[in-house]
Amino acid sequence: MASTSAAVKTTPSSGELLPWEAVIGLETHVQLGTNSKIFTSASTAFGDDPNTHIDPVVCGLPGTLPVLNRKVLEYAVKAALALNLHIAEHSKFDRKQYFYPDLPKNYQISQFDEPIAENGWIEVEVAEKGKDTYLKTIGIERLHMEEDAGKLVHAGSDRLAGSTHSLVDYNRAGVALAEIVSKPDLRTGREAAEYASEIRRIMRYLGVSDGNMQEGSLRCDVNISVRRGPDATFGTKVEIKNMNSFSAIQKACDYEIHRQIKAYEAGEPVVQETRLWDEGKQLTKSMRSKEGASDYRYFPDPDLGPIEVGAEQREGWRSELPELPAAKRHRYAEQLGLSIYDARVLTDERAMAEYFEAAVAAGADAKTVSNWVTGDIAAHVNANRLSIAELPLQPEQLAELVQLIDGGVISGKIAKDLLPELLAQGGSPKAIVEAQGLGMISDPATITTIVDKLLAAHPAEVEAFRGGKTKLQGFFVGQLMKQTGGKADPKLANQILIEKLKG
């Protein structure tokens, strides 16, 4: 492009500056959901009393040794494959050294220069109210395995500052983490939030993590800088921590972008530092400045041998991957004709997507099923805090219900009336309709008889209708449905009613 750029590129006239652009990268720590820790058999359970899931290895007692949990390697490789990363045949663990009381050995076993996986990407769908949804490919630098640290509990304050003393809980120490580092491909807070949420969605699809941000199973740190246009050199990078929701990620990025632009425009410097997102005050504030890079004195951990993942092992794990959310979204839109919005909602959770697919597989129309699943069923599941997988109404039964409507056996209204019972207990809609005689009345003669009686019973209203108050049609429809218990075929009933009313 060098030959054309010289001729085509127009230099902005003096004083006219390109608009600001943010450059954002995310470091995402995902706790891998193995039952035991990365280097020992201690439990990874969350939320129990402090220091109940520890053992001599977790505490780094003298003479103890780490042994890699093979399940962690499997989960890490599966996560990496789902992120289109290249899996290293040989990688290793290193010791990252720094003193901190939440780190029992005062070094963290991590992967430094030979991570298990490098160089991948994911596709993110960026949707924002009032704006067009667009797809963006975000590069992923690497994924590596490491052990989590414990937790400090500061007494007398929720922060170190102001506390009288601190306690250490090592329950979290040694829980397996996959650290996923994005390339600096993100440009807005919304993109950052969508990226993080897609990572979470993928991890949950794989079943390698519950991705629970409140419990810290998924934690994101953001690196962010601003510059004048895509060709300018990067500005000073600021790290932001402490966001525990996707909306917090979005807001923290947007706040920080604004703050940095304002600083530059006021002629003030942006310093390289770590800032904390304050959810209460909705702003970022300085935590510590990072003058130079910390020296972690990395070196290969001599207690752990090389990590080997052969092609056969890798492909075996690849074959166990489920269809991932992006592939599902494309398939739903392209093959099932669903809207981008519906495809997105249906695929957010793997269980919901699988429920939807099972109903469609049972022969029901995809769009109708989609409406039921994203509408009444999702509302019920959310309101009752259920997982769709544990819903008594089986997807095949939902398909049956949809087929009863589409086949003209029952009306939509009857179907809605039946739903609460089905959601609570399940069962065959067909059998219920038959047992309760809820089938639609679609015999014209029967309907004509009912209409005749109805008109005879309301002479004044008939007179008024014929005198021009056509709005009274609604009144007659209501009465008709009341008398038939909602079973009259609405189309046919309307047709006959109009005919008779017009006389």
Which residues of the chain form contacts with another protein (CB under 8 A)?
56, 59-68, 95, 97, 99, 101, 104-107, 168, 293, 295, 297-299, 302-305
Residues in a beta bridge with 277: 284
Nearest distance, CB of residue 201 and another protein, angstroms = 34
Do 381 and 387 form a contact (C-beta atoms < 8 A)? yes
Pairing of strands 218-228, 238-243: antiparallel
Nearest distance, CB of residue 150 and another protein, angstroms = 10
Nearest distance, CB of residue 159 and another protein, angstroms = 15
Which residues 6+ apart lie within 8 Å of 93 measured at CB? 68, 109, 110, 111, 145, 300, 301, 304, 307
Q: Which is nearer to another protein, 309 or 399 (CB)?
A: 309
Run of H or E residues at 193:
helix 189-206
Q: Which is nearer to another protein, 296 or 475 (CB)?
A: 296
Best CA proximity match to 79, nearest among 115, 42, 45: 115
* CB-based burial, 192-219: b 16+ in 10 Å, e otherwise: bbbbbbbbbbbbbbbebbbbebeeebbb
DSSP for residue 390 = G
Residue 497 CB coordination number (10 Å):
22
Helix, strand, coil percentages in the chain from 3-state DSSP, rounded to 5: 40, 20, 40
What phi and psi, each to the nearest 5 degrees, are found at residue 96? -105, 115
**Residue 424 identity (one-letter amino acid):** A
| Residues belonging to the chain | 503
Nearest distance, CB of residue 65 and another protein, angstroms = 5
Alpha-carbon torsion (74, 87, 201, 248), positive or negative: positive
Q: Which is nearer to another protein, 153 or 457 (CB)?
A: 153
Q: Which is nearer to another protein, 294 or 339 (CB)?
A: 294
Task: Measure the CA–CA gap between 367 and 335, rounded to whole angstroms.
Answer: 11
Rg (CA), the chain: 31
Nearest distance, CB of residue 69 and another protein, angstroms = 11
Longest Cα pair distance anywhere in the chain, in angstroms?
A: 99
Q: Which is nearer to another protein, 58 or 243 (CB)?
A: 58
Q: Which is nearer to another protein, 152 or 283 (CB)?
A: 152
Q: Which is nearer to another protein, 59 or 464 (CB)?
A: 59
Q: Which is nearer to another protein, 289 or 470 (CB)?
A: 289
Q: Which is nearer to another protein, 76 or 352 (CB)?
A: 76
Task: Measure the CA–CA gap between 96 and 74, rounded to whole angstroms.
Answer: 23
Nearest distance, CB of residue 178 and another protein, angstroms = 20
Task: Measure the CA–CA gap between 276 and 219, rounded to whole angstroms.
Answer: 13
Nearest distance, CB of residue 90 and another protein, angstroms = 15
**Residue 333 identity (one-letter amino acid):** A
Nearest distance, CB of residue 114 and another protein, angstroms = 14
Q: Which is nearer to another protein, 306 or 408 (CB)?
A: 306
Nearest distance, CB of residue 237 and another protein, angstroms = 19
Q: Which is nearer to another protein, 39 or 205 (CB)?
A: 39
Alpha-carbon torsion (432, 433, 434, 435), positive or negative: positive
Nearest distance, CB of residue 59 and another protein, angstroms = 6
Nearest distance, CB of residue 198 and another protein, angstroms = 35
Q: Which is nearer to another protein, 99 or 281 (CB)?
A: 99
**Angle, alpha carbons 409-411-415 (nearest 5°):** 100
Nearest distance, CB of residue 30 and another protein, angstroms = 24
Best CA proximity match to 269, nearest among 227, 236, 309: 236
Q: Which is nearer to another protein, 174 or 325 (CB)?
A: 174
Do 38 and 147 form a contact (C-beta atoms < 8 A)? yes
Nearest distance, CB of residue 112 and another protein, angstroms = 11
Residue 287 CB coordination number (10 Å):
15
Q: Kindly report the three-state secondary structure assignment for every residue of 251-288.
A: HHHHHHHHHHHHHHHCCCCCCCEEEEEECCCCEEEEEE
